[in-house]
Amino acid sequence: MTSVVIVYGPKAAGKSYLSQALERELGISHIDPDALVLEWIEQGHRPDPRNGWLTEIVAATKSALETHKAVSLEATGAWDSDWTLPGLLRDAGHEVITIRLLIDHATARARLSARQETRVPVSASEVERIWNAANARRKSQKVDLEIDAAGSDFVERTVRYLSERLRA
């Protein structure tokens, strides 16, 4: 069975950092939604007003699973479509493991201000709205693993969890 690891968390929670570590440590191929969205925008595509890039992300994930046993992708968890994603992938026959990274607002802001990678551009007010929405969904959206991403050992702990989970 193929596996999809969805890493949820607000902007600058460490989703890409963790996903890159999962690729190095466990061979879980990383699908970078920011790179895909930037490419789609450059090609003239626009997100669906209701579902955003959900259809395209599902297609990219299924395509990646044709050549990889496990992939990871990331989502803020601020949008309804972020939480529709696991069900669509499960319905397609894939194992889905969900991880939520927790981050305090001050640490997220500090990471954002230091960020140098090219990301989908968002305004400061949009970052704030995403952080609030992602954290508000904690009560209603359950995940397999919730971990504090402000700590220095969150990658090691997540790798250990997934190593055991994917072996089972």
Q: Tens digit of pLDDT for each residue in 116-126?
A: 665 665 667 77
The DSSP bridge partners found for residue 5 are 72, 97
What's the pLDDT at 11? Answer: 81
Q: Is the pLDDT of residue 83 over 90?
A: yes
| Residues in contact with 34: Cβ distance below 8 Å, sequence separation at least 6, in sequence order | 16, 118, 119, 120
More confident residue, 2 or 167: 2
The DSSP bridge partners found for residue 146 are 100
Alpha carbon distances (Å) from 84 to 52, 81, 122:
11, 5, 23
Identify the band that residue 115 occupies on the pLDDT scale cut at 50, 70 and 90: low
pLDDT digits (tens, 9 = 90+) for 144-163: 999 999 888 999 999 999 99
pLDDT digits (tens, 9 = 90+) for 3-15: 999 999 988 888 9
pLDDT digits (tens, 9 = 90+) for 35-62: 899 899 999 999 999 999 999 999 999 9
61: nearest Cα among 137, 119, 131, 7? 7
Q: Give the integer Cα–Cα distance in Å for 48 and 60.
A: 16
Angle formed at CA 134 by CA 99 and CA 15, multiple of 5 degrees = 45
Alpha carbon distances (Å) from 134 to 75, 101, 122, 123, 127:
10, 10, 15, 16, 10
> Helix (H, G, I), strand (E, B), or coil: what is residue 56?
helix
More confident residue, 113 or 35: 35
34: nearest Cα among 57, 18, 61? 57
Domains of the chain: 3-167 (3.40.50.300)
What's the pLDDT at 119? Answer: 63
